[in-house]
Structure 1
Amino acid sequence: MHTISGSHIAGLGTVTGYGWGTQALWAGLTSSKPAATLQPSFGASTDDPGWIVRVPEGGRAEDGTTRFARAMRAAAREAINDALSRGWTPGARVGLIHACVLGDLDMYPMVTPGSGGFTGRQYLSVTPSTPVSLLMSEYGFHGPTMNLSAMCTSGSAAMITAKLWLDSDMADDVLVVSTDLSATPEVVRMFVQLGVAITDTDPLNACRPFQEGSRGFTFGEAAVATLMTSQRGTDAYASILGGAMSHDAYHVTSVDPELTHVRRCVEEALQAARVAGSDIEYMNAHGPGTRQCDAAEGQIAQTVVPEAQLYAVKPLVGHCQAAAGAAELAAALLGYEHGEIAASPHIAQPSVDQLIDGRTPMSGTHGLTLKTSLGMGGHNAALVLAPA
Structure 2
Amino acid sequence: MPGPNERTEQQYQDHMTIAGIGAVTAYGWGREDLWRGLLSGKSAAGLQSGYGPGRDQNAWVSLIPEGGDPAVSTSRYARAMHESAREAIADATERGWRPGRTVGLLHAIVLGDVVNWRDFYTVDHGHRRSRDYLRLLPSTPISVLLQEYGFHGPAMNVSAACSSANVALITAKLWLDAGVADDVICVATDMSATPDMLEHFVELGAAVADADPLEASRPFQEGSRGFSMGEASVAFVLSRSVERPYAAVLGGGMTNDAHHVISVEPGHDQIFECARRALANADVAPHEVRYFNAHGTGTKQCDAAERDLLGRIFGDRPEVYAIKPLVGHCQGASAAVEVAAAALGYERGIVPAAPTVAPGYARLLDGPAKFDGGVTAKLSLGMGGHNSMVVLGPV
Q: TM-score normalised to the size of structure 2? A: 0.94
Cα distance in 2, alignment partners of residues 155 and 45 from structure 1: 33
Paired residues of 2:60 and 2:209 also in contact (CA < 8 A): yes
Report which stretch shifted further, 91-100 or 42-51: 42-51
- Residue equivalent to 1:208: 218
- 1:143 is aligned to 2:150: no
Deviation (angstroms), 1:209: 0.1
Letter in structure 2 aligned against 1:363: K
The offset of 1:276, in angstroms, is 0.5
The alpha carbon displacement at 1:48 in A equals 1.0
The residue type paired with residue 362 of structure 1 is A
**Which residue of structure 1 aligns with residue 72 of structure 2?**
63
In 1, the alpha carbon distance for the partners of 2:295 and 2:331 equals: 11
Q: Which residue of structure 2 aligns with residue 73 of structure 1?
A: 82
Aligned pairs for 1:101-112 (under 5 A) are: 101-109=110-118, 112=121
Q: CA deviation at 1:222?
A: 0.3
* In 1: Cα distance, 2:304 partner to 2:54 partner: 31
2:347 aligned to 337, 348, 369, which one? 337
Q: CA deviation at 1:44?
A: 5.3
2:392 equivalent to 1:374: no
Kept in 2, the 8 Å contact 1:14–1:20? The answer is yes
Identify unmatched segments of 5+ residues in structure 1: none
RMSD: 1.3
Q: Secondary structure at the match of 1:356?
A: coil
Q: Which deviations, in whole Å up to 9, do the C-alpha atoms of 1:182-222 show, x marking residues without a partner?
A: 11111111111111010000001110000000000000000
Give the structure-1-normalised TM-score.
0.96
Query: Equivalent residue of 1:251, what SS?
Result: coil
Instruction: Name the amino acid aligned to 2:102.
Output: R
Identity %: 51
Q: Note the C-alpha offset of 1:107.
A: 2.4
Please give the secondary structure, in 2, of the residue aligned with 1:286. Answer: coil
Residue of structure 1 equivalent to 2:250:
241
1:283 aligns with 2:289: no
What is the match of residue 97 of structure 1? Answer: 106
Aligned residues of 1:109 and 1:115 also touching (Cα < 8 A): no
List gaps (5 residues or longer) in structure 2.
Answer: 1-12
Distance 1:21 1:336 in 2: 18
Matches of 1:107 and 1:189 in 2, distance apart? 19
Q: Distance in 2 between matches of 1:216 and 1:124?
A: 36
The alpha-carbon deviation at position 304 of structure 1 amounts to 1.4
The residue type equivalent to 1:144 in the other structure is P
- 2:178 maps to 168
Separation of aligned partners in 2, 1:150 and 1:311: 23
- 4+ runs of 1 displaced by more than 3 Å? 109-114
Task: Name the counterpart of 1:31.
Answer: 40
Q: How does 1:115-134 map to 2 (within 5 A)?
A: 115-134=125-144
Count of aligned pairs between the two proteins: 381
- Which residue number corresponds to residue 253 of structure 1? 262
SS at 2:251 equivalent: strand
